[in-house]
Chain A
Amino acid sequence: MAVAAERAPGAAVDENLLVVRDLVKHFPIRKGLLQREVARVHAVDGISFDVRRGETFGLVGESGCGKSTTARLVTRLLTPTSGQVVYDGQDISTWPERKIRPLRRDVQMIFQDPYASLNPRRSIGTIIGEPLRLLGIGDRNERRTRVREVMERVGLNPEHFNRYPHEFSGGQRQRIGIARAIVLRPKLIVADEPVSALDVSIQAQVLNLLQELRDEMGLTLVFIAHDLSVVRHMCDRIAVMYLGKIVELASGDRLYDQPRHPYTGALLSAVPAPKASAGRGRRRVVLQGDVPSPVAPPPACRFHTRCWKAQPICSEVEPPLESKGPGDEAACHFPLSDGEVDALTERAEVGQS
């Protein structure tokens, strides 16, 4: 229960809108005559984190780390193999769909691909108004008014509610997706890579919009992305995932200034900065090879096969996710020192502290 250290003593449990404990999701691989399970994809393998009310919590990692699966587990689009998902004090981990349905008013999702996540046969007015219709809120006129309100709020022309998705650009479609997510005034929004498919100039617009909506509506946001700079910009606290586990969990600033887990350090060093001194010389590439398969993750510390600091203990004992500094937890036997961090990210050279 590592994150308990974060809360002020005496604070009520209610402070957390979402609590995840030892969450596991395995996907079976079946082969053979009787379709016996021969292996499993360990998509999410025991993660725990809390999301406070009003907080923007980030989940970052590369492909196959389990962040998208986590998003779907938290919104109960998937059922966990084991572990708990506690929303607003209620354990919804094993609730059947009909029991979860009313909750969908409070918990919404925004998806990555603005081209695939909108039904091409529906007008955008219908798409945005559908949640209202499904939950039986208001009559037709009230719904239409609300839809137009929301369209205007996200920067779409309310007169366009009869148009179809293909008539809009990628950025606009993502706004449609956002409109649909906020039309019910949810408490929690899980955004799974909401800007990854957008052009840079549009990304900034959509990120600003999300921030504005979050502040206006007091939303709690779980923000998932592979782009570290975007996650840092948006989030208060961030969890770094690797092969189904959380390897580091820290506040935004801390994670980027003083990461403790070597994987986090490697991620940061791999991002090229858009400035002249980015170095004509080659940047240090610290991570070789590819991510191992989630079907057969390495034993103990999953990162040890690619970690330049690995020692024998790393393949024998799994390091627990525990505090390595104020507001920073990492799962590592040999966390990075400040000096190592500077060397990795060349900060010493550029004169940044």
Chain B
Amino acid sequence: MGAYIVRRTLWAILLLLVVSFLTFVIFNVFPSADPAALRAGRNATPALIEQIRRNLGLDKPFYTQYWIYLKGLLEHFNLGYSYYNTESVKSEIFSRLPATISVTVGGFVAWMLIGIPVGIISAIKPRSLLDRIMMGGSLVAISAPVYFLGLVSLFLFAQGTGVLQWAGAAGSYVPITQNPGTWFNSLILAWLTLAAAFAAFYARMTRGNLIEVMHEDYIRTARAKGLRESVVITKHGLRAALTPIVTMAGMDIGLLLGGAILTEIVFNIPGIGRYAYDAIVNADLPAIQGTVLFGAFFIVFANLVVDILYAFLDPRVTYG
């Protein structure tokens, strides 16, 4: 197992290097805008733009720029400085990390608490009315885009603008350390919006897995032994059915930690996703680079954790 982890880690590092290089190349071939021009603002003279260009080091050939970037990254873990506001990209990202973590973890809890029980109930009574309603509803939830659901929920429930003033308005985020109550209030709608699509997806997966597992021979043996049906379903059935789901959830968490962009934009939460969006709009290459790298890191890391977790959950899985 140890050798496996080392091997995976080495591949991960290689992968991240490739990702950073590709991002660099893409930005240089298809820049969203000229960062120097944006920085210069209105009434910019060509000379000023040229000046800014030189300051930012944009006049150098792109492989030199990449090499400088890479050196900084590997030697000092320096992610460069934003073209837009010269802040350290690293500190910008880290300061936004708690918000993204709040969104992700809360959303995760919400979608698991909703999705899995719905899936289980549907699986126990397949093709019943309850099952059909739940699966139908989940189809709607999966199909509705996040920004649509988000805006609708703000319209209905947000303080200040909403019909029913139950939850925090967009942009009302404060860190949990500052005021837990407000923190919770500001995120509840975001969590539920995020959870909607995921919960639906997980409900369907749980239902499918559990129905399939309940047809397995070892379930028949469990019943033949005289075990209570509740034990058969939970201990024998769920354990097998949920293992792939738990690991999938790990990957989704990894994905979201890289920034739930749409959710953060709609609810104006100062997280990494929001930062990435702003970076694109501002053609802020170091910031884009930084968020992409972070996102890739979380995904790769989550993948590794999930694979290792699987080996613990399923005794048949071993890694050389």
Contacts and interface: CB of A to CB of B under 8 A. Distances in A.
Direct contact of A and B (CB under 8 A): yes
Contact of B6 (A30, A31, A33, A35): A33
Contacts of B226: none
A176 to B, nearest CB: 28
B7 interface: yes
Interface in A1-49: 29-33, 35
Contacts, number: 10
Interface in A31-73: 31-33, 35
Interface in A167-212: none
Contacts of A30: 320
Contacts of A29: 320
Contacts of A33: 3, 6-7
B231 to A, nearest CB: 32
Contacts of A35: 320
A57 to B, nearest CB: 37
A28 to B, nearest CB: 11
Contacts of B3: 31-33
Overall SS of chain B's interface: helix
A78 to B, nearest CB: 22
A116 to B, nearest CB: 19
Interface residues of A, number: 6
Contacts of B6: 33
A35 B320 CA distance: 8
Interface in B263-320: 320
A268 to B, nearest CB: 32
A33 B7 CA distance: 6
Nearest to B6: A33
A215 B320 CA distance: 50
Interface in B1-28: 3, 6-7
Nearest to B4: A33
Interface string A144-181: 00000000000000000000000000000000000000
Nearest to A38: B320
B4 to A, nearest CB: 8
A1 to B, nearest CB: 40
B12 to A, nearest CB: 14
A27 to B, nearest CB: 14
A248 to B, nearest CB: 36
B311 to A, nearest CB: 14
Nearest to B319: A31
B204 to A, nearest CB: 25
Contacts of B320: 29-32, 35
Nearest to A32: B3
A30 B318 CA distance: 12
A322 to B, nearest CB: 41
A325 B320 CA distance: 48
A30 B320 CA distance: 7
A35 B4 CA distance: 10
Interface string A309-339: 0000000000000000000000000000000
A202 B127 CA distance: 38
A29 B3 CA distance: 15
B252 to A, nearest CB: 30
Nearest to B2: A33
A54 to B, nearest CB: 45
A32 to B, nearest CB: 5
Contacts of B7: 33
B6 to A, nearest CB: 6
B7 to A, nearest CB: 6
A32 B7 CA distance: 9
Contacts of A31: 3, 320
Contacts of A32: 3, 320
A50 to B, nearest CB: 40
A33 B3 CA distance: 5
A29 B318 CA distance: 13
B216 to A, nearest CB: 18
A30 B319 CA distance: 10
Please give me the 10 A-B residue pairs with the lowest Cβ-Cβ distance, nearest first: A31-B320, A33-B3, A32-B3, A33-B6, A33-B7, A30-B320, A32-B320, A31-B3, A35-B320, A29-B320
Interface of B: 3, 6-7, 320
Given A31-B320, A32-B3, A35-B320, 7 more contacts: A29-B320, A30-B320, A31-B3, A32-B320, A33-B3, A33-B6, A33-B7
6 contacts: A31-B3, A32-B320, A33-B3, A33-B6, A33-B7, A35-B320
